[in-house]
């Protein structure tokens, strides 16, 4: 987090799985005091720690990854987290989350990309092999 040592540590009760977050003075930080972006960064950090501790490679599905994040956190996720997040990472995004600038930054790490579009005439979802602002390549 940009706030430095905003969260210094956290503990998970092994019986109740209740999480306790502590700041740099070992005072408890309550979840409701975190912003939506801070909560998202915290849980991504927790997920990363669990994956690293398990030493397992599993598919990672991230929905609305950038929706609540400011530019600095988006840049950090793209530059530092996504390249090492795993062998198979699926990002579900909207056309406003990953614009052309962010798309160009993550493009070297993309194996395949799709846009799911609902066709009202056929009442079906169509799969396009492109990203939102690219030409449709079926």
Is residue 45 in a domain? no
Burial of residue 95, with CB atoms counted within 10 A of its CB: 0-12 exposed, 13-18 middle, 19 or more buried? exposed
Q: Convert the pLDDT of each residue in 69-110 to its tens digit.
A: 888 889 989 998 888 888 889 999 888 888 888 888 988 888
Alpha carbons 81 and 7: distance in angstroms, whole number: 18
Is residue 136 in a domain? no
Is residue 20 in a domain? no
Is residue 18 in a domain? no
Is residue 12 in a domain? no
Domain of residue 118 covers 54-128
Is residue 19 in a domain? no
pLDDT value, residue 122: 96
Q: Convert the pLDDT of each residue in 17-30 to its tens digit.
A: 998 988 888 888 88
Domain count, the chain: 1
What percent of the chain is modeled with pLDDT above 90? 16
Is residue 43 in a domain? no
Is residue 10 in a domain? no
């Amino acid at each position: 987090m940009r706030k430095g040592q905003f969260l210094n540590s956290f503990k998970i009760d092994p019986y109740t799985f209740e999480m306790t977050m502590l700041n740099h003075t070992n005072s408890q930080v309550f979840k409701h005091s975190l912003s939506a972006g801070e909560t998202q960064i915290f849980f991504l950090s927790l997920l990363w720690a669990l994956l690293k501790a398990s030493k397992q490679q599993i598919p990672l599905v991230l929905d609305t990854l950038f929706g609540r994040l400011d530019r600095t956190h988006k840049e950090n996720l793209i530059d530092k987290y996504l390249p090492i997040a795993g062998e198979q990472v699926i990002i579900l995004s909207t056309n406003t989350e990953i614009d052309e600038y962010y798309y160009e930054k993550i493009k070297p790490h993309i194996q395949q990309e799709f846009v799911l579009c609902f066709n009202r005439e056929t009442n079906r979802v169509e799969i396009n092999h492109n990203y939102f602002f690219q030409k449709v390549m079926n």
